[in-house]
Structure 1
Amino acid sequence: MAASDRTGTGGTSASPRGHGVLVVDDDFRVAQIHADVVSATPGFVVRGTARSVAEARGMISDRRPDLLLADVFLPDGDGVELVRSSGLDAFVLTAAVEPATVRRALSAGVHAYLVKPFTRQELTGRLERYARYRRIVDTPHPLSQRDIDRAVASLHGSTRPVTTAASATEKLLLDALGDRELSATELAELTGVSRATAQRRLAALAGRGIVGVHLRYGRSGRPEHLYARSTGSGW
């Protein structure tokens, strides 16, 4: 089948407003499943699906994707080396769990490493994190340390579902935070929750990009984390 026949649901006519994704997997059924998840995730479009390194390189040149979703084991080469040489943002989606392979992928700068089989929700969650990361770093202005911390937290926050009780606590903390910068201790005093609970829920909010965090050094010289709402967090 020609490369132009396997463009997923997005293909070359996909909206330029979304992050363009190239799916690279030698199993066309798996590639299509991944492409379907991408297409169903707001802010993303499929630029194509490739079944080999050579085919992927051609599509990278022709279709200029923003993000690769690549398997490690491809019939004519190694997906990690494809990621490294492409210079593109990338997820590795693979059954490979050897420590050396994981280290190589992380060294190549992958933004996510998902072990097959995984759920649609897990891939969607990684894509949503990537979108939050891009919203932070896609700016013509220099990034502050706080911006960089938020970007990193957006990619690597917790993927576990938030329980109803946790959501209520998070909303309580966010309401108390308002448009200020406060520490976990200050928020715990304002809301009546324990300091440990405030720290745990604030860390979860930071991991999802809803709040940003940076360090403040007090009179004693000891660092303290300050939290503030992230712009456009939706809460």
Structure 2
Amino acid sequence: MTDPIRTLVVDDDFRVAGLHRDIVAERPGFLALEPARSVAEARAAIRTLRPDLLLVDVYLPDGDGIDLVRAAGCDAFVISAAGDAPTLRRALRAGALACLLKPFEPRMLAERLERYARFRNLLAGTGAVAQEDLDRALAILNGSSDPVSLSRSATEKLILDALGADESSASEVAERAGISRATAQRHLAALAARSVVEVRLRYGSTGRPEHRYTLASR
């Protein structure tokens, strides 16, 4: 089982911090840590709790959130009301993977967390990474599920690798492969038409059948 993505919110406004913590807690695959209210609290939490991802406000009572991101040694989003170009450039130079400008709809943070989880999944492990895999991961992080450079044959290979020996739904394959569900479903249907994969129907409690895919027997 994959370890949850340990996420630390750093914001001195307890209402905002609680809201962002709750958004994280609602996302499958994430673990929301108790928010930090200052740079000092955040540094202590980073040392002891070892978060994978920080959600950091720029203006904190005892220091600068962007400096914290630069020194943190882990992935981070900068979340702030500071929307001027110099601040945003500084955040990106410090290593922020994303910048969200307050105020924003909760779904925006939820969507970026989902993209980050897929990005992280594609770059998991310690082995070498192919250029197309890196391009795909960065495209997902920045809001595109399917980079133009990914060919049909490369997509099918990615899907077959993600399918493996297990029976899976299109959504499960898409999550493992780091592509959109629609793309996974389209290619799985094409692979099924060529008898590369087999399709079975599984009926759940709602009565609606779910398509389950497996590699075809040779």
Q: Which amino acid aligns with 2:86?
A: A
User: Which residue is equivalent to 2:102?
Assistant: 116
TM-score, with length taken from structure 2:
0.69
The alignment partner of 1:50 has SS state of coil
User: Which residue is equivalent to 2:151?
Assistant: 226
Q: Note if contact 2:119-2:138 (Cα within 8 Å) is conserved in structure 1.
A: yes
**Cα displacement (A) at 1:99:** 1.2
1:168-219 CA-partner distances (Å, limit 9, x unpaired): xxxxxxxxxxxxxxxxxxxxxxxxxxxxxxxxxxxxxxx12xx4553xxxxx
TM-score, with length taken from structure 1:
0.65
User: Which residue is equivalent to 1:23?
Assistant: 9
Q: Note if contact 1:149-1:213 (Cα within 8 Å) is conserved in structure 2.
A: no
User: How many residue pairs align between the two structures?
Assistant: 160
1:127-149 CA-partner distances (Å, limit 9, x unpaired): 00000001100123200001100
Distance 1:29 1:88 in 2: 25
Distance 2:128 2:95 in 1: 21
Distance 1:47 1:31 in 2: 11
1:155-166 equivalent positions in 2, closer than 5 A: 155-157=141-143
**Cα displacement (A) at 1:109:** 1.6
Instruction: Confirm or deny that 1:147 pairs with 2:133.
Output: yes
User: Which residue is equivalent to 1:185?
Assistant: none
The alignment partner of 2:28 has SS state of coil
Q: Which amino acid aligns with 1:56?
A: A
Aligned CA-pair RMSD: 1.7
User: Which residue is equivalent to 2:71?
Assistant: 85
**Structure 1 unaligned spans of 5+:** 1-14, 158-206, 215-224
Shift of the 25–16 alpha-carbon distance from structure 1 to 2, 3 Å rule, reads: farther
User: Which residue is equivalent to 2:209?
Assistant: none
Distance 2:37 2:53 in 1: 16
Distance 1:32 1:57 in 2: 19
Percent identity of paired positions between Structure 1 and Structure 2:
50
Q: Note if contact 1:129-1:155 (Cα within 8 Å) is conserved in structure 2.
A: yes
1:94-132 CA-partner distances (Å, limit 9, x unpaired): 100121110000111211100001111100000000000
Distance 1:139 1:87 in 2: 17
User: Which residue is equivalent to 2:211?
Assistant: none
Instruction: Confirm or deny that 1:40 pairs with 2:23.
Output: no
**Cα displacement (A) at 1:226:** 2.8
Distance 1:48 1:57 in 2: 13
**Structure 2 unaligned spans of 5+:** 160-172, 175-180, 185-218
**Cα displacement (A) at 1:16:** 7.7
Distance 1:99 1:213 in 2: 29
